[in-house]
Amino acid sequence: MKHCTQCTAQIEGDWQHCPLCETPTPGEPSHSPFPAIPLNYSRRRVVRILFFSSIAVILGSFAAQLLLERGSASIGSLRSVWLGVITMWLLVVMAARNQRNIAKNTVTLVLLVGLICVYWDYLTGWHGWALSYAVPIVCGTSILALLITVRVLRTEVGEHIVYSGLTVLLGLAPIGFLVFGWVTTPIPSAICGAISIIALVMLQVFRGADVRHELAKRLDL
């Protein structure tokens, strides 16, 4: 074994110099109980900075729209291009976050896309397309998509049930649009509402106990 003449101690491993005082170490190298694991510079900080600066740019872009005149009179189709680019950017950032839970991702996506569409419609002069078409279609299809995905991926019930429930509840919103007469065409909202009600009944009948178990766990005080 190597040893350090200054510390008068034995040194395990193949240190050429004492790890404590850097004095050259004579003697035969031995096995170290610790393997030499190469340095590994984490990119986590860079990723975090990129994430937060992206979010800042995206939020800034959405806020900047309010400074421009509403309707098509101001910057015309450029606004839609701008909104399209930052929406795309936002979705890419969300995808890059790589949340493992598909149901949770779906809820986030439905909320984000729904809110952006409504805002977009509002900015371009409120033609009602967001509430009549975009939101009900996104909500309805996401419920169907989720039903299929959790089956295909065999996601554990406890993993997705709360978020699936939330997606279904979001799907009930278009019924409200119908009641308050906010829509120009009632069909998408009616279909979405029907899907949600059926899904909700099924959830209650087949998975009621699971939902209560998961909620009790997640809301435990």
Q: Using CB under 8 A, list all residues that contact other proteins.
A: 1, 4, 7-21, 29, 31-42, 44, 97-100, 156-158, 209-210, 213, 217-221
Question: For other proteins, which is the closer residue by CB, 32 or 184?
Answer: 32
CB of 165 to other proteins, least distance (A): 14
Question: For other proteins, which is the closer residue by CB, 24 or 71?
Answer: 24
Rounded alpha-carbon distances, angstroms, from residue 90 to 52, 81, 99, 152: 11, 14, 15, 27
Question: For other proteins, which is the closer residue by CB, 68 or 157?
Answer: 157
Distance (Å, whole) CA 188 – CA 70: 27
Question: For other proteins, which is the closer residue by CB, 44 or 151?
Answer: 44
Distance (Å, whole) CA 68 – CA 60: 13
CB of 157 to other proteins, least distance (A): 7
CB of 193 to other proteins, least distance (A): 28
Distance (Å, whole) CA 13 – CA 15: 6
Distance (Å, whole) CA 203 – CA 209: 10
CB of 102 to other proteins, least distance (A): 13
Contact (Cβ atoms closer than 8 angstroms) between residue 134 and residue 172: no
